[in-house]
Amino acid sequence: MKRLIEKGLMFGNLFAVDSPALVERYNRALRHLTGLATALTEFHLDISGYSPEIGDELDDHHYLNHGGVNRQFILLSTEQRHCPLLNAEFSTSRDILRRFIEANEQQLFALTATDAVAGELENSVLAVSTPEHLFDIRRIVVEADTTAGTLAHAERLEALIERFMGEEDAWLDEALIGEMVETAKLTGDITRNPVRLRHVAFEQKNFWTAHFGGLYLFQDVKRSALIASTSKPVGRLPLNANLSLGDRKGIARFLRDNQLAEPIVKRHGADEVAILRQKMDFIIADALANDSVDLTDLSRSDMRRLAARYADSLPKEYEGLAAMVRWAETRGARPKIGLEHPSYFYLLRATDSPDRDLVNMLLAELTVLDVRQLFICHKEAFYRHYRTWPETKKAYVADLLAREYAMDKAGARAYLFGDEPDMNGGVPTTGLGARAGIRDDALGQDTQFA
């Protein structure tokens, strides 16, 4: 993994803690949450305040996330909102932390100027020992305060002020006035500078979790489903469908019924055909690497020329993509690609919906030969697969991602997956449809991409 770290593709974009003042604040927060402390004088943090260096030092990379639920966090700066979330147990955790920081940026900026803000993403369960417990995790409450208890003191002062204003002859109550003065010394003038954090509760209904080998839970859709990366959970679950990644027909039907996916290429001459060509290149690279071909300095043109020589090594995923590219670039017959065909999910991407990232994450795990989408949408799965690749493929993929993705992440995501989804609950305007000619064999008709 050293190659990925050197190229900024792993542990990249972390917040540097490199001053005695920041280290001291972090240790105050760490002791407050866990009773632990670090002896390191420099380290890096993700958005939650987790440090891989401290994880190594403590021999515990879950020191802020024991049990995989109710993740604790430490904020030293609002700049942490730009950082990734490492060792994620839930796909929603980073977005919740980012939205919390952005909604309270001014307050948090002031609070972290002199202290660390420590807290927890709290839900209604203490542990997830069975899949049924996942259905109890619907609302995440962000509990946060400084290590000095500034917010708690401010809340106490507000209550005292309200009592002072409401009680008759309260100005004669020396004990009340004295308590107000002493509390104000801890908070400052809250009438001019209110100390309060907003938007501290978030709904969590559709999400991915690393528990039980990886599960995608879709509850807030027309036809609910749980999709397991490995074996599907046993038991009666309150869902319309209980699936695994091997249930291709069920997953295709689920995506169609909920209008969660659409074809990448919908018509002749579409610009998006270049995305399919790039997927084909990744598949060629995989086949060449498995045949021990050195990929160093090979251009895409070089690899396409080599593809003819190694045609027998190319998988069926390549055949389906090539057929769709020919249709899109010519006036030939539209290919009939059934959902049992290995290329089926390579031809899809998520529709513009609040669940776009989650659906693209699911599609990435269904199309692991598309290494770029796997890296962008599902880093945990990417790192797991990366460890199994030949060295030549590791080098090729690392160089490609550093060259073509890391240089312009936002641009690459917009090109591959479209504009950012409507986070205000907008209804998708596009879904699965016949224009791409992807045949749904389970239903005996062309899937509709309307």
Instruction: Read off the DSSP letter of residue 407.
Output: G
What distances in angstroms separate CA 138 from CA 61, 94, 201, 358, one per listed residue? 26, 16, 10, 16
Nearest alpha-carbon partner for 381 in 393, 395, 366, 394:
366
Query: What is the helix (H) or strand (E) element at residue 72, kind and residue range?
Result: strand 72-75
Query: What is the helix (H) or strand (E) element at residue 164, kind and residue range?
Result: helix 150-166
Nearest alpha-carbon partner for 147 in 27, 43, 55:
27
Nearest alpha-carbon partner for 401 in 277, 304, 271, 282:
282
Instruction: Specify which residues 439 forms β-bridges with.
Output: 338, 446
User: Exposed, middle or buried, 77 (CB in 10 Å: 0-12/13-18/19+)?
Assistant: buried
For the chain, the domains span 2-133+141-146, 262-446
Using CA atoms, how far apart are residues 4 and 383, in angstroms rounded to an integer? 9
Instruction: Specify which residues 241 forms β-bridges with.
Output: 225
Name, in order, each residue with C-beta under 8 angstroms of 298's C-beta and a sequence gap of 6 or more: 306, 396
User: pLDDT tens digits for the chain (450 residues)?
Assistant: 889 988 888 888 899 999 999 999 999 999 999 999 999 999 999 999 999 999 999 999 999 998 888 899 999 999 999 999 999 999 999 999 999 999 999 888 888 888 899 999 988 787 888 888 898 888 899 988 888 777 766 666 567 666 667 777 766 777 766 766 766 666 665 444 446 777 678 888 899 999 999 999 999 999 999 999 998 888 788 899 999 999 999 999 999 999 999 999 888 777 889 999 999 999 999 999 988 888 888 887 888 888 888 888 899 999 999 999 999 988 777 888 888 899 999 999 999 999 999 999 999 999 999 999 999 999 999 999 999 999 999 999 999 898 887 766 777 777 788 765 443 443 333 333 333 334 333 333 333 332
Predicted pLDDT at 434: 35
Predicted pLDDT at 414: 77
Does the predicted model carry a pTM greater than 0.95? no
Using CA atoms, how far apart are residues 324 and 417, in angstroms rounded to an integer? 18
DSSP collapsed to 3 states, 79-124: HHHHCCCCCCCECCHHHHHHHHHHHCHHHHHHHCCCCCEEEEEECC
Predicted pLDDT at 185: 64
Predicted pLDDT at 167: 74
Using CA atoms, how far apart are residues 216 and 225, in angstroms rounded to an integer? 8
Predicted pLDDT at 219: 94
What distances in angstroms separate CA 441 from CA 17, 277, 329, 375, 438, one per listed residue? 55, 25, 25, 30, 9
The DSSP annotation for 192-261 comes to TS-------EEE--EEEESGGG-EEEE-SSSS-EEEESSSPPPS--SSSEEEETT-HHHHHHHHHHTT-E
